[in-house]
Amino acid sequence: MLEIKGLCKYFGGIKAVDDCNFGVERGSITALIGPNGAGKTTAFNCISRTAMPTKGSVWLDGERIDKLRPHQITQRGLSRTFQISRNLADMTVLENVICQSRIGGWRDLMKPAMSSDEIDKAMGILDFLGITRIAYEDGSNLSYGQKKLMDLAALLMSDPKIILLDEPAGGVNPTLLEEIVGHIRKLNDQGLTVLIVEHNMELIMRLSHRIVVMAQGRVIANGAPAEIRENPAVLDAYLGGVLEEAV
């Protein structure tokens, strides 16, 4: 569904992402892991065009998307969250979510900001994530975990085909973590494709169907969780530590 071919991103002489190739299958949960500085978030940024790739191409359903502008990519059905949750201050959770609802074209611009259909849809999503009670809270007054849930709600508002989650579990308490995992599973069961960057190895092993391992900007391994666990190159990249604990 999503194909990344020869993706490179250089910052001056630093090769943050260097000839990165991998694909995400429709309906799968694919994890992108790697030690700090491996280029995971940069790769994410290049895919969603928050950053401009230096070289290479990204394909979504056979369409090349790396030349499109970020909002066009979102309109094609690829939505992302940010590692440090970016939310719109002084706007309620509901407004934050409805911001992400799709707009048809010029004629829609002067339509009411929040139609009752959209409010119903947003409320349905918030209900699905169990956070309707914060719908009228200011987006900046939320706890870290609530912000992550709000991000997820906003993603769902844009009717995505594939979602890119950048560390959805970072800084989230264990109870909420289970909740988020449950939501991701449920969404995936209903056919949503997920690409996820995460440091919590135990969660990745449990959740994902395929794992792509990056180190120093390159993909060093790509396979099912069981294969990745045994892969000497991966163990080497992580210096053995984290993965063995997870096993």
Partner 1 sequence: MMSVVSETLTGDAASSVLEARRAHNEKLAAKSDKARAIWFPIALLLLLLALPALQVIGNFNYVLHLVLFTACYVTMASGWNILGGFTGYISLGHNVFFAIGGYFAGMILARYGISTILMAPFAGLLCAAVGYLIGRVTLKTRGPSFIISSLALVMIARILFDHWKFVGGANGVALPANDLSVEWAKLPYYYAFVVLAAFSVWLSYKIKHSKFGLGLRAISKDEIKAESAGIDTRTYKVLAFAISGALVGMAGAIWGEYLTYIRPNIFLIILVSVNMVLMCILGGKGTIAGPVIGAIMIIAFNELFVATLGASEINILATGLLMVIVLLFFPQGIVGTLAKHHKLPRILNWD
Q: Which residues bind partner 1 (CB under 8 A)?
A: 48, 50, 69-72, 74-75, 79-80, 82, 86-91, 95, 98-100, 102-103, 108-114, 116, 119-121, 123-125, 127-128, 132, 136, 154, 156-160, 186-187, 190-192
Q: Which residues contact 104 (CB under 8 A, 6 or more apart)?
A: none
CB nearer partner 1, residue 145 or residue 160: 160
Q: Which helix (H) or strand (E) holds 219?
A: strand 218-223
CB nearer partner 1, residue 159 or residue 178: 159
Q: How far is the CB of 74 from partner 1 (least distance, A)?
A: 4
Q: Could you give the angle at the alpha carbon of 195 between the alpha carbons of 98 and 178, nearest 5°? A: 75
Closest C-alpha among 237, 221, 241, 230 to residue 22: 221
CB nearer partner 1, residue 135 or residue 228: 135
212 is written with which tokens?
């792509």
Q: How far is the CB of 145 from partner 1 (least distance, A)?
A: 18
Looking from the CA of 144 toward its CB, the CA atoms found within 13 Å total 12
Q: How far is the CB of 115 from partner 1 (least distance, A)?
A: 9
- Please state, as a whole number, how many other Cβ atoms lie within 10 Å of the Cβ of residue 233: 12
Q: How far is the CB of 178 from partner 1 (least distance, A)?
A: 17
> Collapsing DSSP states into helix, strand and coil, what is residue 169?
coil
CB nearer partner 1, residue 8 or residue 88: 88
CB nearer partner 1, residue 85 or residue 200: 85
